[in-house]
Chains A and B, each alone.
Chain A
Amino acid sequence: MAALFTCVVCALVGAAVASLLACIPGLHIYNVLALTALAFQAWSGGGWLAGEAFTALTVAMTVGYAMLNTVPSVFLAAPDESALFTVLPGQKYLMAGRGREAVLITAAGGAVGLFAICLVLAPLGPRLLPVIWTVLRPHAHWVLWCVIAFMLMSEWPRRVAIGVPGWRRFLAAWRNLGVGLLTFLLSGLLGFLLLYRSPIPPEFAFQNLLPAFAGLFTLPWLLLNLAARATPLPQRADRGVPLDVPTLLHGGLAGVLGGGFAAFIPVITGGVGGFLAGHATAIRNDRMFLVSQGAAKVVYYVAGLLLFFVPGLHTARGGAAAMLMTFGVPQDRAAWFLALAAAALAGAVACALVSPLTSLTIAAVARFGCRRLSWASLALILAVVLTATGGRGLAVAVVAAGIGLLPVLFGSRRMNCLGVILLPMACNLSGFGPAVARALGLL
């Protein structure tokens, strides 16, 4: 009974703390979890980490973060790699004084994702996923290559030129496509560099990708916000969101499919999964898109972690599962049910906290101003990078920010920055990563 009580407390506290931390730009839950694990290891000598309470805490913190990390994406344009897609519509809502609405819509999608996890993954996961993974495992590499190919091929020219058709119009239209390809290539090369000859000192190796992610995804938006000096309208304080059931279910279905795909296939992020499913289900509407991204994000983070507990599967997806794996693989179904229960409980807490934490952020934006908070976010992110990876990490972040600014300045897809993980990992999964690294002079 005491163990159960401890688990419940850990789930409640974990969800609440992670929800709060998710509102701080630049803090990724995997870093927080790593620090938490190190702290508890030092405190309890490691025994506590293998216990059920730590499982409940990890799952709950992941749920809390996945539900609430939309807040800095919308109000401060400081997304992580999975919330990347919510920034653009989120900023649109923010500038119109409807930032709260954007967060609540995304959270509604997250709630749909949690329901799908509890109602679909829980009963069907142990029956289907081990077989599906056995079939797909040798083929995961080409699935990844196909995702890359579709990402690059499905970007269409945006520039609408008036005048005589011909090469000039063709080249003008191809400018954003060319920059998109260049962004993917450069970020892929950065990924190879970080993977094969990282300038980041070995003592910070577990945070190898942190500066690249901060530079590619977070810093460009913040720099743009600071340069643009745009001031959003005062934020509306509506409590409810006029979201109809078809929009919620259509967007939710897309998000669940996309997030599930991303959780299951290595290296694909929730945003990319949501993007693919959005195409597959013909999503055009901003509200539906936000719902789908909310669902995709939650399913990606939470289901990705829960796959570690699925009986007969036990695959580690994402930083949290990789960290738990170092303490052993769960052998019984009790761990699976415990993880599911913790996710459900944490989901309820996180849903309840969405509105008050959004109000708190709106109050902070109103009090300090968007510009001052953007400066504070920038300073905080640079401090996190410097603390976690040293001066060299900061240099990597600056280089990555240069690459990340390309799509922002030339109007191409920001998603191309995901080349930093997609390209080297696809090469590695296909078995020719080392050969490419040798050709690049990195080995």
Chain B
Amino acid sequence: MKGIAHFAAGVAVASCFPQAVQAGADGNPLPFLIGGACGLLPDTLDFKFSRFFFRHDVEVVPDPLRPDAQTIADAVALAVNRAWETQRPVRIRLHTIRLATDVWLPYEITFDVAGRRVLARCGSPVDTGGNAVGRTEPAGRRGGAANLACGIKLEYRATTPVDMLEGPTFTMEPTADGRVVPRFIEWHRQWSHSLLAAAGLGLLAALAAAPYLGLVAAGAALAHVLADQLGFMGSNLFFPFRAERSAGLQRVHSESAAANLLTVWGACVLIFWNLYRNMAVNVPGWNLLSVAVYGLVVPAGVGLAWRRWRRRP
């Protein structure tokens, strides 16, 4: 999910507490700020702090003037093979290829499990929005393949695009059955996305402010972790008792417009209902059923119809 979906879900969690709604009506924004901020905090901790301290053993910086897909494939294979040989994790960082201020040369890495190979392929120049820019492609080998000394066990997707901004990291981790598992951006969704972190955050807020604000903070962080669990990567829910992330349910992609909009919209409807039910006024015809049907079911139905129309042959 995108940040705004987590933030809105956190605010929606806060609105479920009548004390928070009352405080809001009295001019105190703190409960909702805590909800929103704690909803986004797990990603903030990862992307603004953790990743800058994540050490790597191999760093791949392709030449923008002459990118060589074979060298990229060789470097990834080197990391996999070294992990297998030494039986120790090897971390590799892949940099993006920036051709100009807003022009990138995307490439992708594919772990060919059946063929025991790593494939690398360079694409055509795009802008930060991912649109083709029609710029001449730099010279260099466009595709490459490197053989692996061991089998690969996938926990994420087989193909990873490396397109713009900051490139990904992989931790090549040897497994007990003699294979190597490439862990995608291992610094993400670890301790920050655990039940323990959510509880700790709640405890901190409860001690610093009020007990119900502790529940708001913990609930918002928990909503984030659970929403992420619907995706592909999963989270390390049981840190520190487990060292690895649990696999995600693979129901939605974090970049999905429909999933993000539905989450934000649903959170807004829930917030509205919570504010309305805590008010003294009662408007005829405005009840939970009508708000749910007209506010959520009808728009979701329209959205679904729109998606079907878009996907028609």
Contacts and interface: CB of A to CB of B under 8 A. Distances in A.
Interface in A274-293: 276, 279-287, 289
B191 to A, nearest CB: 17
A366 interface: no
B24 interface: yes
A149 B260 contact: no
B92 to A, nearest CB: 13
B52 A169 contact: yes
A135 to B, nearest CB: 5
B5 interface: yes
| Secondary structure call for the A interface | helix
Interface stretch (A102-110, A160-168, A201-209): A160-168
B48 interface: yes
Contact of B36 (A146, A250, A276): A146
A431 interface: yes
A145 B33 contact: yes
B110 to A, nearest CB: 23
Contact of B279 (A135, A157, A166, A286): A135
B129 A284 contact: yes
Interface stretch (A21-29, A34-42, A136-144, A234-242): A136-144
B29 A156 contact: no
B29 A162 contact: no
A337 interface: no
B37 A149 contact: yes
Select the residue from B96, B261, B272 with max chain A CB neighbours within 10 A. Answer: B261
Contacts of A289: 129
A136 B27 CA distance: 13
B251 interface: no
B308 interface: no
B44 interface: yes
A249 B310 CA distance: 11
B165 A173 contact: no
Contacts of B265: 280
A146 B33 CA distance: 6
A132 B272 CA distance: 8
Nearest to B187: A165
B216 to A, nearest CB: 13
Contacts of B122: none
Contacts of A162: 59, 61, 95
Interface in B1-29: 2-5, 7-8, 11, 21, 24-25, 27-29
Nearest to A164: B55
B3 A279 contact: yes
B5 A280 contact: yes
A170 interface: yes
B256 interface: yes
B281 A134 contact: yes
B129 A286 contact: yes
B257 interface: yes
A160 B33 contact: no
Contacts of A123: none
A149 B35 CA distance: 11
Interface residues of B, number: 56
A250 B275 contact: no
A246 B257 CA distance: 12
Interface in A145-163: 145-146, 149-150, 153-154, 156-158, 160, 162-163
Contacts of A430: 27-29
Contacts of A303: none
B310 A276 contact: no
A131 interface: yes
B276 interface: yes
A9 to B, nearest CB: 39
A177 B260 contact: no
Contact of A135 (B11, B53, B275): B275
A142 B33 CA distance: 8
Contacts of A153: 3, 7, 37, 40, 44
Contact of B2 (A157, A165, A282, A426): A282
Interface in B248-279: 255-257, 260-261, 264-265, 272, 275-276, 279
Interface of B: 2-5, 7-8, 11, 21, 24-25, 27-29, 32-33, 36-37, 40, 44, 47-49, 52-56, 59, 61, 95-96, 98, 102, 127, 129-131, 165-167, 255-257, 260-261, 264-265, 272, 275-276, 279, 281, 283, 286, 306, 310
4 closest A-B pairs by beta carbon, nearest first, are A142-B29, A170-B52, A279-B4, A145-B29
29 contacts: A134-B279, A134-B281, A138-B24, A145-B29, A145-B33, A146-B7, A146-B29, A146-B32, A154-B40, A156-B48, A160-B95, A160-B96, A162-B61, A165-B52, A166-B53, A170-B49, A170-B53, A173-B52, A246-B310, A279-B3, A280-B2, A280-B5, A280-B261, A283-B257, A284-B129, A284-B255, A286-B129, A287-B131, A430-B27
